[in-house]
Amino acid sequence: MRIPWLRSAEPTAPPTHEDLIRLVALGDEAAFEALYDAMAPRVFGLVRRIVRDPAQSQEVAQEIFVDVWQQAARFDADRGKAVSWILVIAHRRAVDRVRASQASTDRDLRQGIKEFQESYDDVEDTVEALLESERVNKALESLTQVQQEAIRLAYYGGYTHQEVAELLKVPVGTVKTRIRDGMIRLRDRLGVA
């Protein structure tokens, strides 16, 4: 005979994962803690196999449990077990992290190649400019001394014809003639049409 005012000494079964999810959906923090303790090793193991990096795996595992906390009300026991539902979330999150990481790596690689090509082009342009400058200087040396002076002052010094005439103490017309004749010889020497 049972005494009605005494509690039953029969042990109760521990809550199932499904029970814990239902309680988490109601905001039960103790249920979430119990669910976390039960599922964290499996979730982390799955994530670790996919993501590989331990630090990123820990971050992803934390994100998964935040998702479980926020989406617990969406769990439908008729569609499957709670463990499967959590592991599907874990798998999706881990794959998303790998894809995002790969996309970031690809983007960095493309940017690095672009920057390398730009710097390569800059070097190429600089070398071409130096070679062209050498070519022009050699061609300048083939001119008479007075033509060289007039052209260097006008083109490299930035002086006007009037200022060149004043510096060389010659008439402006003479400066113009020296520059014109020198430029014709330079054009012929450099093969410019």
d(CA 32, CA 144): 94
What is the structure's pLDDT at 6? 45
pLDDT, one tens digit per residue, over 40-76 is: 999 999 999 999 999 999 999 999 999 999 999 999 9
Hey, what domains does the chain have and what are their CATH numbers? 17-109 (1.10.1740.10), 131-190 (1.10.10.10)
pLDDT tens digit string along 17-45? 999 999 999 999 999 999 999 999 999 99
Output the pLDDT for position 118: 58
E strand map for the chain: none
The residue with greater pLDDT, 8 or 93, is: 93
Higher pLDDT, 93 or 110: 93
Q: Residue 85 burial by CB count (10 A; 0-12/13-18/19+): exposed, middle or buried?
A: buried
Residue entry with tokens 């049972």: 2
**CB-neighbour burial class of residue 74 (10 A; exposed 0-12, middle 13-18, buried 19+):** exposed
Helix axes of 17-25 and 54-71: crossing angle, nearest 10 degrees = 70
pLDDT band at 121 (very low <50, low <70, confident <90, very high): low
Work out the pLDDT band at 158, boundaries 50, 70, 90: confident
- Per residue in 165-179, pLDDT (tens digit) is 998 999 999 999 988
